[in-house]
Structure 1
Amino acid sequence: MMATKQQQSCPVYGGQALVEGVMFGGAKDTVTAIRRTDGSIHYFYAKKQSSPTVQTLKKVPFVRGVVALAESAVLGSKHLNYSSDRYDVDPNEPIVEEEPSKLAMVLGVAAVTILSFFFGKFVFTLIPVFLAELFQTWAPSKTAQILLETFFKLSLLLGYIALVSMTPLIKRVFQYHGAEHKVINAYEAGDELTVDNVKKASRLHYRCGSSFILFTVIVGMFIYFLVPTDPLWLRVVNRILLIPVVLGVSFEVLQFTNKLRDIPVLKYVGYPGLWLQLLTTKEPDERQIEVAIHSFNKLREYEQVGVQAFDDVPITYDEALEPSALEPSK
């Protein structure tokens, strides 16, 4: 079965699970909806702002993946900060904040994003190299070292996900992750975005960032066969220098598998990423699905009518339960 007409013609949307909420993003706009402790749903809007140079780079194969990753990391940090700061705040109490300068805010978000990125890369890229080196006496060949490195990398990744998923907060984030995927799948299938319809949709999706992470491990393994591995210091340098290459190629592989998902036999290429999502997503409840639907519909609404930047716009609990509030955008 080939891609449906809806899948071929509809815009491509992405999303991110947050603390008690979901962010959805389109070509130019991003909207977050969070569920407050009193049951009300509040929104946060941020416009994608890219320079002409960045827009051009996002069209260049193997470069666009790195650019898109950096852009989504910075923008996603804003939405994550909003959800974590606001979900448990009493909506009736005024929020008093110091207004930081635009430069300070941008530099702060960028610094945290870059530091987090490099820390993650050190843990999941370099530590497996050193662990594999410990077995140099018993597995001295290049092939054995790369396979061991990949094994340790996958073990660290799966172990980390399994560990954090045991915390109640992250478990709920993974449920919102599932709700995000269900909404996208229902939309791309052409279904009306009601709670019942979305609940039936799959919580797994080919374009998920979880799949991207797994592909970086697999793609990296093949790329490492093309470069020298000895001595150890050269292997470490290669791994660091190849990070953007691995990210760029992995992004293209992710996009490719998404195009194959409705083609028999070939769709299995993307299955490893879907298997990882069995860990990074959980089945959401109806209230979490409601939040995801509101976020997506609000994004579609503002894409059509245009909107100025806003922060913390509420919809009351009663309004959230009205059927009209859950009607999909036309």
Structure 2
Amino acid sequence: MKLPGILALAAPQSVGGQAVIEGVMMRARDTLAIAVRKADGTIVTEVRPWFSLARHPWLKKPFVRGFPVLLETLVNGIKALNFSAMQAAEGDEEGGELTTWHLVLTMVLALGAALGLFVVLPHFLSVGLELLGLAGDVDSLSFHLWDGCIKMAVFVGYILAISLIPDIRRVFEYHGAEHKVIWTWESGKDLSPDATRFFSRLHPRCGTAFLLFVLVVSILLYAVLVPYLLTWYSPEHFLAKHLYIVGMKLFLMIPVSCIAYEMIKFAGKYSRNVLCKALCWPGLMMQVLTTKEPDDSQIEVAIAALQCAVNAEEC
């Protein structure tokens, strides 16, 4: 499919996106578009309906919608990554799309790895500090302070480690291109590399900021709710007690994601407000690590994705 012509965009609708392998995925309302730069230099685009789990009105309500949105974003993101990998490596060959079972398995593995790295590992490292006498019991504030500090260290360390991989750096450059193009769109400017180049690569509605909100909310919620829930039931055996607590923490990720989603929606909507700027600042600083300055060819790919998302009939 060819790249649509440059558009002058006024009164824009809300859009979002994600970097993929040698490309960008953009979403506008119920449509997503993926644009990928192939090995021969051409841009291939794919327009698809947005897979949604929140079809019932109740699932779209504030402080409920966050968890379904997280799951559907993961599904659409994995499928977009799969498409981009096929196009970047093999061209237009068919038959490589993930089956439903492959998608479910990939999601389970991805969620399991994330929860293991950012929930289970910090908890048991904090248990180790408790055994060394450096932290209190799990119902004390010091335990959860250590747990929170370890979470943050693991998060930052993970991002720093993967940023050393050349292919991931390329993804981070496309991540920067995605943000720049969204800023251009939201400012009502012409979608062109010349107009886009000078916009910031940092954006308050970024998924990196969402993950940071998730970490902060989880630290605060665990510090309050875990000791309270232990007053209702607390296994006597040491290992059983901590496995029970980890299970509670995993379940509490549902309300954590719902609260974090509302926070990032609020911060993005009122980004000029002083309080919202303060809320956004840590996430923006984290994006210094997860985005890199793109070149014009990468900006062109992000523009192609956005134009196809908002004008699907032209792609």
Q: Which bracket does the TM-score occupy, shorter chain normalised?
A: 0.7 to 0.9
Is 1:17 paired with 2:19? Answer: yes
Instruction: Name the residue aligned to 1:313.
Output: none
* Per-residue CA distance 1:165-198 (angstroms, 9 max, x = gap): 1111000000000000000011111111110111
Is 1:209 paired with 2:207? Answer: yes
Instruction: Name the residue aligned to 2:50.
Output: 48
Which residues of 2 match residues 226-241 of structure 1 at below 5 A? 226-229=224-227, 231-241=241-251
SS in 1 for 2:19: strand
1:31 to 30, 33, 56: 33
Q: Percent identical across equivalent pairs?
A: 32
Quote the offset at 1:234 in angstroms: 3.7
Per the alignment, do residues 25 and 58 of structure 1 end up closer, same or farther by CA in structure 2, a change over 3 Å counting? Answer: farther
Quote the offset at 1:110 in angstroms: 2.3
Give the letter for the 1:301 counterpart.
Answer: N
Quote the offset at 1:55 in angstroms: 4.4
Give the letter for the 1:89 counterpart.
Answer: E
Instruction: Name the residue aligned to 2:3.
Output: none
Is 1:279 paired with 2:289? Answer: yes
User: In 2, distance between residues paired with 1:135 and 1:122?
Assistant: 18
* Per-residue CA distance 1:189-233 (angstroms, 9 max, x = gap): 111111011111110111111001111110111111222346433
Quote the offset at 1:306 in angstroms: 7.8
Quote the offset at 1:57 in angstroms: 4.1
Per the alignment, do residues 232 and 88 of structure 1 end up closer, same or farther by CA in structure 2, a change over 3 Å counting? Answer: closer
Which residues of 2 match residues 131-146 of structure 1 at below 5 A? 131-136=125-130, 137-140=133-136, 142-146=140-144
Does the Cα contact within 8 Å between 1:57 and 1:67 map onto a contact in 2?
no
Per the alignment, do residues 96 and 260 of structure 1 end up closer, same or farther by CA in structure 2, a change over 3 Å counting? Answer: closer
- Count residues in correspondence: 291
User: In 2, distance between residues paired with 1:118 and 1:202?
Assistant: 33
Quote the offset at 1:90 in angstroms: 5.0
Give the letter for the 1:109 counterpart.
Answer: L
* Per-residue CA distance 1:241-273 (angstroms, 9 max, x = gap): 211111111111111111231123542221111
Does the Cα contact within 8 Å between 1:58 and 1:68 map onto a contact in 2?
no
Structure 1: state its 5+ residue gaps.
1-5, 308-330
Runs of 4+ aligned structure 1 residues displaced above 6 Å come to none
Quote the offset at 1:66 in angstroms: 0.6
RMSD: 2.1
Per the alignment, do residues 249 and 40 of structure 1 end up closer, same or farther by CA in structure 2, a change over 3 Å counting? Answer: same
User: In 2, distance between residues paired with 1:238 and 1:90?
Assistant: 45
Is 1:97 paired with 2:95? Answer: yes
Instruction: Name the residue aligned to 1:294.
Output: 304
Structure 2: state its 5+ residue gaps.
1-8, 231-240
Does the Cα contact within 8 Å between 1:227 and 1:238 map onto a contact in 2?
no
